[in-house]
Structure 1
Amino acid sequence: MKRILAAAATLALLFWTASAAAQEARVIKNYEDFGDYRVVYSVFNSDFIQPDIAQKYQLVRARDRAFVNVSVVKKDGGTRGLSAELSGNATNLIQQSRPLKFLEIREGDAVYYLAPLRFENEETLTFNVDVTLPNGKKERVTFRRKLERP
């Protein structure tokens, strides 16, 4: 009887641990859908950009710099970026806000937007990006990221 109770307790503990781990796992969302359009966004360290590309578009690469990357595509499987109007800001945990100034990048048929950003190591920022979609409708995308220096 003791073995059965011990096995049951062990099994219950195993299920509880697996359940807790599953609840802690988070999926980092990187897009929002608005009707026929999908707004895809990311934030990455500036050294991700190759030096020749940075020079071509006059982008500054440094340990304390990142880029907010936004593109608008058709939701029905389109991968080619579409023209849009963007503005926004990044706000830290003590509510200090800084504007995001997006630069349009065109490479072949692709269109995407980059906004340079300075950050402190391990800084958590909330990004608010206002997007005017190709159909003229205005939408807002809000997301949070923790930035770390390489």
Structure 2
Amino acid sequence: MKRILAAAAAVALLFWSVSAAAQEAKVIKSYEDFGEYRVIYSVFNSEFIKPEIAQRYRLVRAKDRAFVNISVVKKEGGAHGLPAEVSGSATNLIQQSRLLEFIEIREGDAAYYLAPLRFDDEENLNFTISVVLPNGDKEEVTFQRKLEKD
């Protein structure tokens, strides 16, 4: 009987600890809202881009390269990216800053912005992105990502 109670207590403790950890887990946010607009951001390894797309836009694919992707959409019914002005920087933990040079990618009516970035394995970077929205308002987005070579 003591073993059954001990096992039940262990299971209850396990469920409690998992529940507490889940409540403390941070959701990785990938957008910021500014009035009627949403700025969506991501950072991904350059090898995720198909070779033919990379060739078309002269994008370099390598294990130590990533792209910062920014798009601006309308919050209500925003199916495609809108034209905007985008600039920014990436700063590592020892405060070395790198300027991000965004290029505009047009796919039909959609516009989005990519900036190439070389990184070290398991490098933590803080991103500061300035965006001039279609209505002329200038906004800033900041976020952090840990980049790893796959």
Deviates more, 1:20-29 or 1:127-136: 20-29
Q: How does 1:1-150 map to 2 (within 5 A)?
A: 6=6, 9-10=9-10, 13-150=13-150
Taking structure 2 as the reference length, what is the TM-score of the superposition? 0.91
Q: Which letter maps to 1:137?
A: D
Q: Which letter maps to 1:141?
A: V
Moved over 3 A (4+): 2-12
CA 1:149–1:10 in 2, change beyond 3 Å: closer, same or farther? Answer: closer
Give aligned pairs, total: 150
Q: Which secondary structure does the structure 1 equivalent of 2:135 belong to?
A: coil
- 1:14, 1:40 → 2: CA distance? 37
Query: Cα distance, 1:92 vs. partner?
Result: 0.6
Q: Which letter maps to 2:80?
A: R
Q: Render the CA deviation track for 1:41-98: whole Å, top value 9, x for unaligned.
A: 1000011111111111111111110000000000002121101001100001111100
RMSD of aligned C-alpha atoms?
1.9
Q: Which letter maps to 1:112?
A: Y
- 1:93, 1:46 → 2: CA distance? 22
Q: Which letter maps to 1:61?
A: R
> Which residues of structure 1 form unaligned runs of 5+?
none
Instruction: Give aligned-pair identity as a percent.
Output: 74
- 1:54, 1:7 → 2: CA distance? 56
Taking structure 1 as the reference length, what is the TM-score of the superposition? 0.91
> Which residues of structure 2 form unaligned runs of 5+?
none
